Amino acid sequence: MSITVRAPAKVNLVLGVGPVREDGYHPLDTVYQAISLYDDVTVSNAGAWSVTVRPVGAVDCSEVPLDEDNIAIRAGRMLTEHHGIDRRAAIAISKGIPVAGGMAGGSADAAATLVALDRLWDLQTTDEDLLAIAARLGSDVPFALIGGTAHGTGHGELVEPVVDNGTWWWVVVPNAEGLSTAVVYGAFDEAEDIQRGSGTEAIRAALESGDLDACADALANDLQAVALDLRSDLRSTQAALEDAGAVATLLSGSGPTFLGLVADQDEAHRVREQLLEGGVPGVLVATGPVAGTHVVDYV
Ligand code: ATP
């Protein structure tokens, strides 16, 4: 028997980052939105842990580890430890979420693996325990479980759904060269005179109203200035999105993926075409909010 579970990418509509804490984490005040780029994770019983990855479309999977460093295997092991059982699985990832792009693809795989193995082995893990295991795996993993639109606090792992009355359309511009999350946070810690601790009140009101311009005005990412300083080539991506008519642009998480917010689906495809014609490769279209981690197939 095998089970396939789908998990979405995330964008941070607002990413407010406070000064680094003594435990090394940064306090976050963020609003996550799950968008329609997905990884599908298929699990089946096996004598040893293994992971394989296959790209969807043009996603570059060359940096995804195929050993115990893969977060999907770490998730599987953590679930077996939680239940005190000795079982293993083969994990096959079909990857539609750009790798190392600030869209939490690894976190999606971890969340999908937890749900898939819970079903495969009929473990009946409670939602509370799943969220706790997810939080130990990574700051973005609990949100990948719940999806939709949510307020994230702590270091991102404490998630509460928020009202979102819009259907938002995004033009997503991945970058061939990854940008390390640790490097971006390091530069953020050393930077002077930058915005820290952006609040989420304005974006939450905008989401409730469903108004595009209010949402566009409220988008904010405290990491964007340092990421643009580290990678000045991203400025041309941002400018290309603006020139093509995006209502607002935003760095996704710690980057390097850039997002353009647009009015509707037709506009999203028009902007995508314009960017592709202008020589920007790999441009994707996505909508949000979408569901969190869910089962799509039992075979
Ligand atoms: P983060 O912000 O969590 O660092 P990200 O969203 O920018 O991550 P991911 O695609 O999650 O990017 O991958 C970050 C790194 O994690 C990759 O460069 C890779 O080395 C490692 N990794 C481990 N497991 C996975 C996985 N299942 N999928 C993708 N990357 C993985």
pLDDT tens for residues 17-46? Answer: 999 999 988 999 999 999 999 999 999 999
Q: How far apart are the first and last CA of the chain?
A: 6
* Widest distance between CA atoms in the chain: 56
Residue 90 placed within a domain: yes
DSSP character string of 179-191? --HHHHHHHHHH-
Q: Which one of 102, 133, 162 terminates a domain?
A: 162
Q: What pLDDT does residue 178 have?
A: 82
CATH assignment at residue 254: 3.30.70.890
CB of residue 40 inside a 6 A radius of ligand 1: no
Same domain for 281 and 199, yes or no, is yes
Is residue 141 within 8 A of residue 159, CB to CB? The reply is no
User: Hey, what's the torsion of the CAs at 137, 65, 61, 36, to 10 degrees?
Assistant: -10
Same domain for 154 and 16, yes or no, is yes
Q: What pLDDT does residue 54 have?
A: 98
pLDDT digits (tens, 9 = 90+) for 275-286: 999 999 999 999
CATH assignment at residue 13: 3.30.230.10
Same domain for 131 and 228, yes or no, is no
Is residue 23 within 8 A of residue 63, CB to CB? The reply is no
Query: What's the mean per-residue pLDDT of the chain?
Result: 96
Q: Which two tokens stand for residue 133?
A: 């295991």
**What span, in angstroms and rounded, lies between the C-alpha atoms of 134 and 185?**
22
Exactly one of 10, 39, 95, 222 is catalytic; which is it? 10
CB of residue 109 inside a 6 A radius of ligand 1: yes
CB of residue 59 inside a 6 A radius of ligand 1: no
From the alpha carbon of 182, which atom of ligand 1 is closest?
4
Per the structure, the complete domain to which residue 38 belongs is given by 2-162
Same domain for 268 and 204, yes or no, is yes
Same domain for 121 and 245, yes or no, is no
pLDDT digits (tens, 9 = 90+) for 238-274: 999 999 999 999 999 999 999 999 999 999 999 999 9
Instruction: Round the CA-based radius of gyration of the chain to a whole number and report it.
Output: 19
pLDDT surpassing 90 at residue 232? yes
pLDDT digits (tens, 9 = 90+) for 146-188: 999 999 999 999 999 999 999 999 999 999 888 899 999 999 9
Same domain for 221 and 142, yes or no, is no
**What span, in angstroms and rounded, lies between the C-alpha atoms of 56 and 61?**
9
Domain count for the chain: 2
The Å distance, Cα 263 to ligand 1 centre, comes to: 30
The residue nearest atom 28 of ligand 1, judged by CA position, is: 106
The Å distance, Cα 272 to ligand 1 centre, comes to: 25
Same domain for 128 and 197, yes or no, is no
Q: Prior bond to 289 cis, omega within 30?
A: yes
Same domain for 31 and 105, yes or no, is yes
pLDDT digits (tens, 9 = 90+) for 91-133: 999 999 999 899 999 999 999 999 999 999 999 999 999 999 9
Query: Is 40 designated active site?
Result: no
pLDDT surpassing 90 at residue 15? yes
The Å distance, Cα 267 to ligand 1 centre, comes to: 30
Is residue 261 within 8 A of residue 287, CB to CB? The reply is no
Q: What pLDDT does residue 50 have?
A: 98
Same domain for 153 and 7, yes or no, is yes
CB of residue 65 inside a 6 A radius of ligand 1: yes
How much of the chain is in helix, strand and coil states, percent to nearest 5? Answer: 35, 30, 35
Q: What pLDDT does residue 248 have?
A: 98
pLDDT digits (tens, 9 = 90+) for 65-101: 999 999 999 999 999 999 999 999 999 999 999 998 9
Is residue 115 within 8 A of residue 123, CB to CB? The reply is no
Per-residue CA distances from 183 to 226, 227, 274 (Å): 10, 9, 32
Same domain for 227 and 195, yes or no, is yes
Per-residue CA distances from 159 to 25, 131, 150, 152 (Å): 16, 9, 6, 5
Same domain for 129 and 195, yes or no, is no
